[in-house]
Amino acid sequence: MKRQSIAVCLYVWLLIQFSGGDILLDDFTNYFGGTNDQCHIGEALGYSIVGPNAVDTGGGWWRPFTDTLGTVITGGSGTVLDTGTYARLVESSAMHIIYKTYLCTANMVDTWPYAYISCNMAGDTATWFDFSNLTSIKLKLKGSGSIRFSFRTKDISDLFAGDSSAWGFYGFKYDLTPDWKEIIISTTLFSPEPFSPPADSQWTWDHGKNAVKAFDIYACPDEDTTTNDSTELYIDAVTFEGITWQETFNFEYVDLPNLTAVPGDKTHFILDTTVTLSSALSIENRIYYTTDGTAPDTGDTSQLYTTPFTISGDTVVVQAVITVNNVILESKSWTYYQDVIPVVLTAVPGDSSHFSLDTSVTLTAIPPDASIRYTLDGSVPTTGSPLYTGPITLNQSTTLRAMSYRFGYIGTYGSWDYICDLLASWLLANPGDSAQFGDTLTVNLTTNADTILYTTDGTDPATNGTVYTGPFKITGDTVVVQAIAVGDGYDTIAGIWHYFGIMTGIDNTSPGSVACKKLSLRQYCRTGNNILLHIGIPDNTAAYLSIFTPAGRKIVERTIRGCGYHTVTISDELIGKGIYLIRLTHGREEIIVKNIVQ
């Protein structure tokens, strides 16, 4: 939990205080209410999460270190600072330190005199900093004597190999002056300190710059000489130029926010999609977000993320920030694209399919929950057309049209033609058309189809027909038999036959061969264009015959002589025109009848 807290707070500090191209190590003011012994970065690490007294877990503590041979470091007031303890004495926003040292020499070990104050930037954590892009150190200082600024490093290859003894010290010596000066020390001037371990004397700054642990300030007169002179230092505004904390931290144990969204950036979606935000932080935190591309407002509770949210639209930009203790740790954005695509509509069997018997057509849509409406009469389907719920059965040639639609998709129309290849059917009657009969006639119908429907009253057999089960009898003067034959896989065929009854007691001989006693018109029928009449004329004298159309136009006018059958021929265009009026006159006698001419 300590490492976790340090990482979180360090990230807070990174985003707020070190977002530019330089790092302010310390300007010797209390930003977070910490103790006077913490450097600027140390206050963020130590105070924001674990409190101002967590000296063993925070970072960036200024500590004095001296040898055991009487060398001391005092504050500006002359108070001796205990070695190894946390110390920071500020006068007018600057640190004031007095070193009383004897010696600064090569091959320095603990048995040799030394005095320095150190800022262990990460505190007692397994943290190293990558200073590869450091260009220079900028700071303000004054005083008397000489000092060395030094970075305490590890060679990165040794560090990864687990060799904790491989240390390097790199720095620059500077002679102090009584007046404040702002100086800039380029890394090109860095060299191994003369007191680095002998085995490491071949190192250069490139060996250690990617694994920096601490920043030390040594009191260092001339090497290999002994002196009782004191070194007095005032220092302010220590800045590392050319680097940012974002690119320097190299944690072995990290619990940074790592704000993530699922689905991730540049995701394409079709329907409305749900976005889930999360982070790697295990401590209490808050995430605020917007979906219109604007920066989230951490003071707006309506933007507080609590549950996954739904997005829709052509392009949606989600921006989010994560906060701890009302401090923004991280900000990220993700862009989503909504792809509008058409519904895929298919029919099986497909277009131009042939069939003979009944067939079933299956419609399928992608996505599967899209609605399908269809028609079978060739009309364009609408939302009021029948809803497709299952396979459609066809028993004749049909044009099937369908539409499919769903929210979030482009509606799709489809059209398929199905051709019914029916067998040719035949329908016969025995006896055939225009047969004559006496009192009754037996009619026999035959077909190669499945069923015959027939009528004997001139009506449509498709609607009024009787199912034919065997020969049937007809009676009357004129009988019209109509029939249709139907069956699966067969064409429907229709037939019509006319049968004419001959009245008993009527002489069928030729006209004039038999003498009649009175005027009569006893029988009438048609065969083709000929109307057959049986006329009786008293004493075989002459009679006058007229035939009128249904509209009253006279089409036949002739004199008839003799009793018997007489044939009258009418033109083709008058066939099938309806009921004809026939008038026969003899002197004052007149007979009027109506003849149905089909």
Structure confidence by residue, pLDDT tens digits, 270-306: 777 899 999 877 667 889 999 998 999 988 888 999 9
Separation between Cα atoms, residue 53 and residue 35, nearest integer Å: 8
Separation between Cα atoms, residue 462 and residue 51, nearest integer Å: 99
Separation between Cα atoms, residue 56 and residue 40, nearest integer Å: 16
> Which pLDDT does position 485 carry in this prediction?
93
Neighbour-count burial for 298-307, b at 16+ CB within 10 Å, e otherwise? beeeebebee
Q: Which residues of the chain have a pLDDT value below 50? A: 1-20, 31-36, 42-58, 104-111, 125-126, 156-164, 196-201, 224-225, 250-255, 503-509, 598
- For 461-494, write each residue's pLDDT tens digit: 999 999 999 999 998 767 889 999 998 777 889 9
**Four-point Cα dihedral 192, 194, 199, 205, nearest 10:** 0
Separation between Cα atoms, residue 383 and residue 104, nearest integer Å: 95
Separation between Cα atoms, residue 403 and residue 399, nearest integer Å: 14
Helix, strand, coil percentages (3-state) for the chain, rounded to 5, are: 10, 50, 45
Classify 427-501 by CATH class: mainly beta
Three-state SS at 355: strand
> Which pLDDT does position 504 carry in this prediction?
41
**In terms of DSSP H, where are the helices of 170-269?**
205-208, 245-248
Category of 107 on φ-ψ map: left (φ > 0), alpha (ψ -120 to 50) or beta: left
**Four-point Cα dihedral 65, 70, 75, 79, nearest 10:** 130
User: What's the DSSP call for residue 512?
Assistant: T
User: What's the DSSP call for residue 410?
Assistant: B
What tokens does 99 get? 């070193």
CB 130 within 8 A of CB 156: no
Nearest alpha-carbon partner for 545 in 597, 500, 590: 590
Q: In terms of DSSP bridges, do strands 181-186 and 95-100 run parallel, antiparallel, or are they unpaired?
A: unpaired
Separation between Cα atoms, residue 426 and residue 445, nearest integer Å: 11
What letter represents residue 531's amino acid? I
The CA-based angle 331-48-30, given to 5 degrees, is 110
> Which pLDDT does position 128 carry in this prediction?
66
> Which pLDDT does position 76 carry in this prediction?
63
Three-state SS at 338: strand
Q: List the beta bridge partners of residue 403.
A: 373, 413
> Which pLDDT does position 430 carry in this prediction?
94
CB 372 within 8 A of CB 387: yes
Find the largest Cα–Cα distance for the chain: 182
Category of 458 on φ-ψ map: left (φ > 0), alpha (ψ -120 to 50) or beta: left
Query: What values do phi and psi take at 189, rounded to 5?
Result: -90, -5
> Which pLDDT does position 25 carry in this prediction?
78
For residue 223, CA distances in Å to 108, 115, 176, 295, 470 come to 10, 14, 16, 57, 137
User: What's the DSSP call for residue 26?
Assistant: E
> Any idea which fold 520-597 has?
Immunoglobulin-like (2.60.40)
What tokens does 488 get? 């699966």
CB 89 within 8 A of CB 38: no
CB 479 within 8 A of CB 498: yes
Q: In terms of DSSP bridges, do strands 127-129 and 260-262 run parallel, antiparallel, or are they unpaired?
A: unpaired
Q: CATH number for 22-32+62-251: choose from 2.70.98.20, 2.60.120.430, 2.40.37.10, 3.40.920.10.
A: 2.60.120.430
Range 344-419 classified under CATH 2.60.40.10: yes
Separation between Cα atoms, residue 147 and residue 165, nearest integer Å: 25
pTM over 0.95: no
Calculate helix-pair angle for 40-47, 2-17, nearest 10 degrees.
Answer: 130
What length does the chain have?
598
Query: What values do phi and psi take at 439, rounded to 5?
Result: -70, -45
